[in-house]
Amino acid sequence: MSLKPISDIGEFGLIERIAGIAEPTLEAVPGIAEGIGDDCAVYALSPSKVQVATTDLLVEHVHFDLLTTPLQHLGSKAISVNISDICAMNASPRYALVSIALPSKSSVTFVETLYNGMSEAARLYKTALAGGDTSMSLNGTVISVTVTGEAVKEHLTLRKGAQPGDLVCVTGSLGGAAAGLKVLTREKGIMVEHLRHGESYERDILSNLKEYDEAIRQQLLPAARIDIIEFFHKHNIIPTSMIDISDGLAPDLLHICRRSEVGAIIEEGKLPILPQARHIADEFQEDAVNYALSGGEDYQLLFTLKSDQADLIAPHRDITVIGRITPADEGMLLQDIYGMTIDLETIEGFDHFTGKE
Ligand SMILES: [Mg+2]
């Protein structure tokens, strides 16, 4: 047996190995149209309809810190990050299964507050909380959410499908979640110092840090862009490829480029960076562009579109064209405001197993 640690191959290396072992099982079920490797697995329900399914884990001390995360927000985020993956398939969510592992000393109110947050988000996305499991945990809280959705077959949008000449588009603003995390991490340090000295501390993070509210909200309470999917359906817009931005613009665009076997060029000057993220980056003497490229957790949609459909998205104020798809041999580039190009493939998102960005 090999004793190679997971940190040697990283998160994507691990997923590749798991996919290799899982692949033979796909043949047993003829309806499976997409297995591991996209935002959701896809199963053909009928010749015209597909079911999509996704699952996400939130682990205490890895994905969230209870010192800086209001429980209701955590519940809401656990649902939103999954709905975001359903949206990334151009599908509509249906129901969620929620499993939770808790230390036995957790209070009943803790669990109820968490589920109230989930219930509020689920109602917003017209998704049913339809089942799940509970277990005792010896070390911290773990939340696992699985969400299913449905799409008309012609609407289904995968990571593959982008063609040279297509527009690269992004929704909303970027960099806010990473900037918010910076502020929260600093605040946690201050909080821990107060507690160490036996002093009380006002724990309402959002009202304490009003000047950073948009960025913190983006980190603690991201919203899945179901409104964009509804806009697509209403105007018969079908992107050629799509992904949600969970790892960062650069690594997520790389997923589209690899699966579609294309390259891309992005213009730095067109990136819709959250103004507050710029202020926070200045305060930390960092670059907000890096928050957008590799910070992740913005849960916006990154998609490509045939250039003759540009008129259809133009009226939408929350969709920005940031670049275009190129042939694979041109690579994946960022053109900065001076016209210099930077290789985006060298920028990676956060890897849970290597701990590196
Ligand atoms: Mg995703």
Other residues' Cβ atoms within 10 Å of the Cβ of residue 356: 11
Looking at the fold, whether 178 and 318 belong to one and the same domain comes out as yes
- CA 310 – ligand 1 centroid, Å: 24
In a domain, 247, yes or no: yes
Looking at the fold, whether 147 and 241 belong to one and the same domain comes out as no
More confident residue, 160 or 9: 160
Give the three-state DSSP class for 287.
Answer: coil
- CA 340 – ligand 1 centroid, Å: 30
In a domain, 352, yes or no: no
Treating both helix axes as pointing N-terminal to C-terminal, what angle do 71-87 and 226-234 enclose, rounded to 10 degrees? 30
pLDDT of 216: 94
- CA 239 – ligand 1 centroid, Å: 16
- CA 88 – ligand 1 centroid, Å: 7
Looking at the fold, whether 173 and 283 belong to one and the same domain comes out as yes
CA angle at residue 291 from 341 to 252, to 5 degrees? Answer: 70
Answer yes or no: are the C-beta atoms of 188 and 68 closer than 8 Å.
yes
| Whole-number Å distance between alpha carbons of 87 and 243 | 9
The total domain count for the chain is 2
Extract long-range pairs of 51-54: CB within 8 Å, 24+ residues apart: 51/148, 51/149, 51/150, 52/86, 52/89, 52/91, 52/148, 52/149, 52/150, 52/151, 52/156, 53/146, 53/147, 53/148, 53/149, 54/82, 54/85, 54/86, 54/146, 54/147
pLDDT at 357 over 60: no
pLDDT digits (tens, 9 = 90+) for 220-258: 999 999 999 999 999 999 999 999 999 999 999 999 999
SS3 for 331-349, per residue?
Answer: CEEEECCCCCEEEHHHCCC
| Whole-number Å distance between alpha carbons of 249 and 148 | 25
Answer yes or no: are the C-beta atoms of 145 and 82 closer than 8 Å.
yes
pLDDT at 138 over 70: yes
DSSP letter string, 158-217? -SS---TTPEEEEES-BSHHHHHHHHHHHHHHHHHHHHHTT------HHHHTGGGHHHHH
In a domain, 41, yes or no: yes
Q: What is the CATH number of the domain that holds 86?
A: 3.30.1330.10
In a domain, 6, yes or no: no
- CA 301 – ligand 1 centroid, Å: 9
pLDDT digits (tens, 9 = 90+) for 152-182: 999 999 999 999 999 999 999 999 999 999 9
In a domain, 99, yes or no: yes
Looking at the fold, whether 90 and 239 belong to one and the same domain comes out as no
Answer yes or no: are the C-beta atoms of 152 and 49 closer than 8 Å.
yes
- CA 312 – ligand 1 centroid, Å: 25
CA angle at residue 238 from 232 to 243, to 5 degrees? Answer: 90
Q: Which domain holds residue 74?
A: 26-152
| Whole-number Å distance between alpha carbons of 303 and 157 | 9
Phi, psi of 312 (to 5 degrees): -70, -30
Looking at the fold, whether 110 and 178 belong to one and the same domain comes out as no
Looking at the fold, whether 51 and 114 belong to one and the same domain comes out as yes
Looking at the fold, whether 61 and 172 belong to one and the same domain comes out as no
- CA 332 – ligand 1 centroid, Å: 20
Residue 146 vs residues 96, 108, 325: alpha-carbon distances, Å: 5, 23, 32
Looking at the fold, whether 145 and 244 belong to one and the same domain comes out as no
Looking at the fold, whether 110 and 173 belong to one and the same domain comes out as no
Of 184-193, 212-221, 287-296, which gets the smallest average pLDDT? 184-193
- CA 296 – ligand 1 centroid, Å: 11
274 secondary structure, DSSP code? -
User: Which residues surround the ion ligand 1 when the cut-off is CB under 5 Å?
Assistant: 39, 85, 244, 246
pLDDT at 132 over 90: yes
In a domain, 302, yes or no: yes
In a domain, 147, yes or no: yes
Beta bridge partners of 142: 59, 101
Mean pLDDT of 324-340: 95
Answer yes or no: are the C-beta atoms of 162 and 328 closer than 8 Å.
no
In a domain, 192, yes or no: no
Looking at the fold, whether 262 and 328 belong to one and the same domain comes out as yes
- CA 115 – ligand 1 centroid, Å: 23
- CA 339 – ligand 1 centroid, Å: 31
Looking at the fold, whether 32 and 88 belong to one and the same domain comes out as yes
Q: What is the CATH number of the domain that holds 318?
A: 3.90.650.10
- CA 85 – ligand 1 centroid, Å: 5
- CA 246 – ligand 1 centroid, Å: 6
Looking at the fold, whether 176 and 316 belong to one and the same domain comes out as yes
- CA 245 – ligand 1 centroid, Å: 7
pLDDT at 350 over 80: no
